[in-house]
Amino acid sequence: MLGSIEAGGTKFVCAVGDKNLNVVDRISFSTTTPEETMKKVFEFFNAYKDLKAIGIGSFGPIDINKNSPRYGYITSTPKLEWKDFNFLGAVKKHYHIPIGWTTDVNAACLGEYEVGSAVKNDSCIYLTIGTGIGGGAIVKGKFIEGFGHPEMGHILVRRHPKDDNFQGWCPYHGDCLEGLAAGPSVEKRYGMKAQDLGPDHEVWEILAYYLAQALFNYTLVLRPEKIILGGGVMKQPQLLEMIKKEFMALLGDYIEISEIDEYIVKPILGDNAGIIGGLILAKEACK
């Protein structure tokens, strides 16, 4: 059996699956303190004595540099209780089996790359747009990473003319992409949650404008074969088409991409992308 942990800032999902990636058991609970949360993680996995490996996709920022003394830590997160938490170390202390370690979005990206919407592609980006914006990328079978993992949710974008007065809410950058287009930005602007504003509200045009700019920039830097958009904000059914339209307007006929409906897509694995990716990560950790 293989284990998978999708560690989100709001909730944790743990799952156990077989080598064909069939999930046979899963549990989900709120992310509270590391102590309380990890206790539930261990209770879940302790029931499986035949675990071969575990794959972890964690909220970040995390340290992924194997030569770093803090490899496996959650680092400078605004969730202060988790700051400097040695996540990988805690799991390794309980289970003496191979443990895979990456970001939550990298794990989801891996799931979609191996068995989801990008299964026929050599490269893809997975972007989640929810309470924050985060992205992972795979090119030629390898995660894009260097001095650390991508933080592509925080790139700079140009302001929409109707949105000039909003300061943005990113605690680090104010009006970076996340500060302007993640879920909480809607409530900060209008005092109402995104889902209560209705599909014709101007906010969707504003969000689509920012997200399309980001996808345009990612496209020019990485030239991926596919971009997959997940996360809570993308559950607004009108948003995907609005983003694609803005993106095509920016792209003009400058560079070639695959068919737009094949290029910007939702995850085939849906909310399971991260958990499936974690199982694949576990499988790879066995090698």
Residues that bind a copy of itself (CB under 8 A): 61, 121-123, 135, 137, 139-140, 142, 144-152, 154-159, 172-173, 213, 216-218, 220-225, 250, 252, 254-258
Distance of CA 203 to the CA centre of its chain: 23
Q: Which of 166, 211, 219 is nearest to 188 (CA)?
A: 166
Query: Which of 91, 105 has the CB closer to a copy of itself?
Result: 105
Cβ 144 to a copy of itself shortest distance, Å:
6
Query: Which of 185, 213 has the CB closer to a copy of itself?
Result: 213
Query: Which of 4, 102 has the CB closer to a copy of itself?
Result: 102
Cβ 68 to a copy of itself shortest distance, Å:
10
Query: Which of 7, 124 has the CB closer to a copy of itself?
Result: 124
Cβ 261 to a copy of itself shortest distance, Å:
15
- The pair of structure tokens assigned to 199 is 């599909």
Cβ 273 to a copy of itself shortest distance, Å:
19
Q: Across-strand partners of 56?
A: 5, 101
* Separation of first and last alpha carbons in the chain: 15
Rounded distance, CA 181 to CA 234, Å? Answer: 11
Cβ 2 to a copy of itself shortest distance, Å:
25
Return the sign of the alpha-carbon dihedral for residues 245, 251, 254, 258.
negative
Rounded distance, CA 65 to CA 60, Å? Answer: 14
- The pair of structure tokens assigned to 73 is 């830590």
Q: Across-strand partners of 2?
A: 17, 53
Cβ 156 to a copy of itself shortest distance, Å:
6
Contact (Cβ atoms closer than 8 angstroms) between residue 138 and residue 123: yes
Query: Which of 4, 103 has the CB closer to a copy of itself?
Result: 103
Query: Which of 24, 220 has the CB closer to a copy of itself?
Result: 220
Residue where the block lists tokens 């924050």:
132
Contact (Cβ atoms closer than 8 angstroms) between residue 237 and residue 195: no
